[in-house]
């Protein structure tokens, strides 16, 4: 903005000086001409008087001579001063014009060079005190503009640095990927050659990661080591790990290291961070240096989140005792195998294996040996089956094995071979005796014995219990009556669902969720029941059937309608949690129907929380995300139910606007006695707090568990100790 101002100023000064000098010159010329004329006339008249006195009778002739040459005399007297004045004007005009041109050039260069041009302008002499005074005033303006420009640039830099620290949810999985995204944003603000971050995992060893955005420079690695050793003199080893983030072959010039060392390990064991910057002024470098501690915290948090996620993922998918897949993961893999077999049209088998008389082993040698026996048996199963087979511990002394691409005959042969090998299996007891065991194995084959995962499991499981009752240590395929019995029971459950929809006999019951610290009720989870013959049928007995029939969304609609009606009637101001499946959420009319119910009852959407469960696999997570974001914009909230029960938990956490995490009850139930389950809960709480998500502990069934979840920092609790499901809410 200063350049147009200077241009106008130059024109004003230029015209003012030109006019002023022209007026002065004209005045000088006029005065000179008048003075000359007077003097010439006086001289002539004096001369004429002398002539008259000397030459009588020639007066008229002399007067004629004077009149004839008077104009010439005047011109000779006026022109020289006028020419002189014009010359003065020209000289002054050029000098002023030159001075103003230099002033304008300096102003134009100021936009590019800033402080350096101000310094040059200070040393410039414009030749006129008036112009030098104007120059000094302009320098003041320039300095103010420069300070404003620097402040604006630094503010933009600080804002850009702050935005770069907003790491994505993807960083939960890969901290180095998060660093790469941060550096990509930073490189838009300044030219960065390398980012340095160090982690201390022991007192005498530091692991330093170098993230290069230009050509790697081994010589610079030695400089990094020197800087680190300067702060940590007792180090025995410095491990350097290079990450090449860019394929550019540019080499850094004017390299400068902005470096900070932290004496104590921060989040994620970060002890030092640094940026190698090619160029930047001192004030920018000060801003960057002040930003480094925040960057260290973010990077440390990203690495810690990755560590938490890996721990959670392991505990979520693996049985803590045996290392086999756990029950939740087994169900996810079984449903996946059913879908894959359906698409590719092949058979696969499911084996349900139960150790015979395992209670006798526990009672004889104690639970410690019993756990050791289970671990050895799990190892035996892994060694017996193929790599592509899926081996899981279903619970207690019960195991499950999925055999892809396996017919009835092959499955039966595999199960019998397991019985034969088991004759040579034993575990040495504390008294030195070898302890052996037998097993009962129920076999079911898709699609012969079951059309979906639950049906296949029920048939295999019931077959296994049948042969245990018949004598144990055997293997059997389902009998026709086993399959028929299950399908008859399924048919009866289907009739119950259809009758409930027809009569509207869905009943909501409310289980409280309390704040752990205050024990005040924060919310209620709305649970579904079907009223039949004066009794309430629990959801576990009809929801799977309703899902298979594709009617669960209709049951949910009735449940929400009745729950909102009761909440408004009772004046309830807390939140209601509704347990729904992802497939219901993406149902075409779900949003419209839900908004209509909210409007119908005058209920605040901020009071509603949708719990996303993992009973069904979602193929299109992006559609689920879009619809959930639409509901979020309307004011609704979301929770992930049974968090840690499988991979879907992390998928939901990454893609959905999650407000609550409900920790899988199996981990809470055994939190007192299981170190691994306790570690899992600690990791979930740390992860949730970092992502600003509230945690809810399920299955809190006694005071000891309640006190433990409170000590671990869980926000809310739910379970029979807190309150049982009731038909009314307070």
> CATH no. for residue 454?
3.30.70.270
The pLDDT value recorded for residue 508 is 95
- Structure confidence by residue, pLDDT tens digits, 457-473: 989 998 998 898 888 89
The pLDDT value recorded for residue 301 is 73
Q: Are strands 637-643 and 660-663 parallel, antiparallel or unpaired?
A: parallel
524 strand-pairing partners: 512, 576
Rounded (5°) CA angle 85-89-95: 145
Indicate if 59 and 123 belong to the same structural domain: yes
Instruction: Tell whether 439 is covered by a domain.
Output: yes
Judge contact between 422 and 414, C-beta under 8 A. no
Number of compact structural domains in the chain: 4
Helices and strands (H, E) in the chain, number of each type:
22, 21
DSSP secondary structure string for all residues of 572-594 = --SEEEEEE-HHHHTSTTHHHHH
Indicate if 334 and 382 belong to the same structural domain: yes
Instruction: Tell whether 158 is covered by a domain.
Output: no
For residue 425, the enclosing domain spans 327-478
Q: Report how far residue 26's alpha carbon sits from residue 5's, in angstroms, rounded to the nearest whole number.
A: 32
Indicate if 197 and 86 belong to the same structural domain: no
Indicate if 589 and 696 belong to the same structural domain: yes
Instruction: Tell whether 157 is covered by a domain.
Output: no
Of 359, 308, 352, the closest CA to residue 449 belongs to 352
Indicate if 313 and 350 belong to the same structural domain: no
Indicate if 639 and 685 belong to the same structural domain: yes
Indicate if 331 and 313 belong to the same structural domain: no
Instruction: Tell whether 725 is covered by a domain.
Output: no
Q: Are strands 427-428 and 256-261 parallel, antiparallel or unpaired?
A: unpaired
515 strand-pairing partners: 716
Q: Report how far residue 315's alpha carbon sits from residue 323's, in angstroms, rounded to the nearest whole number.
A: 9
- Picking from 99, 115, 147, the residue at the C-terminal end of a domain is 147
Instruction: Tell whether 277 is covered by a domain.
Output: yes
Q: Report how far residue 437's alpha carbon sits from residue 431's, in angstroms, rounded to the nearest whole number.
A: 17
Q: Extract the tokens encoding 688.
A: 């949730």
The pLDDT value recorded for residue 178 is 77
Indicate if 560 and 456 belong to the same structural domain: no
Indicate if 173 and 139 belong to the same structural domain: no
- Picking from 449, 478, 507, the residue at the C-terminal end of a domain is 478
Of 288, 255, 276, 274, the closest CA to residue 154 belongs to 288
Q: How far is CA 41 from CA 37, 60, 76, 79, 328, in A?
A: 6, 17, 13, 17, 128
Regions of the chain where pLDDT drops below 70 = 1-173, 247-249, 251-268, 278-285, 290, 585-588, 614-620, 645-650
Judge contact between 62 and 48, C-beta under 8 A. yes
Instruction: Tell whether 297 is covered by a domain.
Output: yes
- Picking from 317, 350, 378, the residue at the C-terminal end of a domain is 317
The pLDDT value recorded for residue 651 is 72
Instruction: Tell whether 153 is covered by a domain.
Output: no
Q: Extract the tokens encoding 187.
A: 């490189």
Residue showing tokens 């300044």: 190
Residue 540's domain is classified under what CATH number? 3.20.20.450
| HSE-CB for 512 with a 13 A CA cutoff | 18
The pLDDT value recorded for residue 419 is 93
- Structure confidence by residue, pLDDT tens digits, 87-142: 665 666 666 666 666 666 665 655 555 555 555 656 666 555 656 666 666 666 65
Indicate if 460 and 555 belong to the same structural domain: no
**pTM for the model:** 0.55
Q: How far is CA 272 from CA 198, 234, 298, 348, in A?
A: 5, 16, 13, 54
Judge contact between 700 and 672, C-beta under 8 A. no
Instruction: Tell whether 310 is covered by a domain.
Output: yes
Judge contact between 664 and 645, C-beta under 8 A. yes
Residue 256's domain is classified under what CATH number? 3.30.450
Indicate if 639 and 555 belong to the same structural domain: yes
Cβ-Cβ contacts under 8 Å for 304 (sequence gap 6 or more) = 267, 268, 686, 690
First to last CA, the chain: 66
Q: Report how far residue 162's alpha carbon sits from residue 291's, in angstroms, rounded to the nearest whole number.
A: 8
Indicate if 505 and 470 belong to the same structural domain: no
């Amino acid at each position: 903005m200063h350049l147009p101002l200077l241009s106008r100023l130059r024109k004003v000064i230029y015209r003012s000086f030109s006019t002023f000098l022209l007026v002065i010159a004209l005045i000088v010329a006029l005065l000179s001409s008048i003075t000359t004329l007077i003097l010439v006339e006086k001289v002539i008249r004096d001369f004429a008087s002398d002539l008259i006195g000397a030459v009588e009778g020639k007066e008229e002739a002399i007067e004629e001579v004077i009149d004839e040459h008077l104009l010439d005399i005047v011109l000779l007297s006026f022109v020289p001063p006028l020419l002189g004045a014009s010359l003065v004007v020209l000289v002054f005009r050029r000098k002023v014009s030159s001075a103003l041109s230099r002033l304008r050039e300096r102003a134009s260069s100021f936009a590019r060079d800033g402080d350096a041009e101000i310094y040059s302008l200070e040393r410039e002499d414009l030749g006129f005190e008036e112009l030098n005074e104007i120059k000094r005033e302009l320098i003041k303006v320039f300095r103010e503009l420069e300070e404003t420009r620097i402040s604006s640039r630094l503010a933009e830099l600080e804002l850009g640095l702050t935005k770069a620290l907003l790491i994505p949810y993807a960083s939960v999985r890969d901290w180095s990927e998060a660093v790469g995204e941060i550096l990509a944003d930073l490189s838009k603000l300044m030219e960065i050659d390398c980012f340095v971050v160090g982690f201390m995992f022991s007192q005498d060893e530091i692991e330093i990661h170098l993230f290069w955005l230009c050509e790697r420079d081994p010589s610079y690695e030695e400089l990094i080591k020197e800087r680190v050793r300067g702060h940590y003199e007792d180090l025995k080893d410095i491990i350097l790990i290079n990450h090449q983030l860019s394929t550019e072959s540019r080499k850094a010039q004017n390299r400068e290291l902005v470096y900070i060392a932290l004496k104590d390990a921060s989040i994620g064991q970060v002890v030092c961070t640094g940026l190698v910057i090619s160029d930047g002024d001192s004030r920018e470098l000060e801003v960057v240096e002040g930003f480094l501690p925040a960057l260290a915290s973010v990077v440390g948090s990203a690495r810690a989140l990755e560590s938490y996620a890996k721990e959670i993922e392991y505990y979520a998918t693996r049985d803590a005792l045996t290392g086999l897949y756990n029950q939740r993961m087994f169900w996810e893999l079984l449903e996946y195998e059913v879908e894959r077999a359906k698409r590719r049209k092949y058979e696969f088998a499911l084996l349900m294996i139960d150790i015979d008389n395992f209670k006798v082993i526990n009672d004889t040698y104690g639970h410690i040996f019993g756990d050791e026996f289970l671990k050895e048996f799990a190892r035996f199963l892994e060694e017996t089956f193929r790599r592509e087979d899926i081996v899981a511990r279903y619970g207690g002394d019960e195991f499950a094995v999925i055999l892809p691409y396996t017919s009835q005959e092959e499955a039966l042969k595999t199960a019998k071979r397991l019985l034969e090998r088991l004759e040579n299996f034993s575990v040495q007891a504390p008294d030195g005796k070898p302890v052996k065991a037998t097993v009962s194995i129920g076999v079911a084959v898709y699609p012969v014995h079951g059309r979906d995962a639950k049906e296949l499991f029920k048939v295999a499981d019931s077959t296994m219990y049948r042969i245990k009752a018949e004598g144990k240590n055997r293997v059997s395929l389902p009998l026709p009556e086993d399959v028929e019995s299950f399908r008859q029971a399924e048919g009866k459950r289907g009739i119950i669902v259809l009758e409930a929809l027809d009569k509207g006999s869905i009943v909501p019951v409310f289980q409280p969720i309390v704040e752990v610290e205050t024990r005040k009720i924060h919310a209620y989870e709305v649970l579904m029941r079907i009223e039949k013959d004066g009794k309430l049928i629990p959801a576990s007995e009809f929801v799977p059937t309703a899902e298979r029939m594709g009617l669960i969304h209709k049951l949910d609609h009735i449940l929400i309608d009745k729950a909102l009606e009761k909440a408004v009637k009772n004046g309830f101001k807390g939140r209601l949690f509704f347990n729904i499946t992802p497939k219901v959420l993406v149902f075409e009319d779900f949003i419209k129907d839900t908004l209509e119910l909210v409007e119908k009852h005058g209920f605040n959407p901020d009071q509603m929380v949708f719990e996303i469960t993992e009973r069904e696999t979602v193929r299109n997570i992006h559609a689920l995300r879009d619809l959930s974001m639409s509901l979020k914009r309307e004011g609704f909230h979301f929770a992930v139910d049974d968090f840690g029960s499988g991979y879907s938990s992390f998928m939901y956490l990454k893609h959905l606007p999650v407000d609550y995490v409900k920790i899988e009850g199996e981990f809470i139930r055994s939190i007192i006695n299981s170190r691994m389950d306790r570690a899992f809960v600690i990791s979930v709480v740390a992860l949730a707090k970092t992502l600003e998500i509230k945690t809810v502990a399920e299955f809190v069934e006694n005071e000891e568990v309640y006190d433990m979840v409170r000590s671990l920092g869980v926000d809310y609790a739910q379970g029979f100790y807190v309150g049982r499901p009731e038909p009314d809410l307070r």
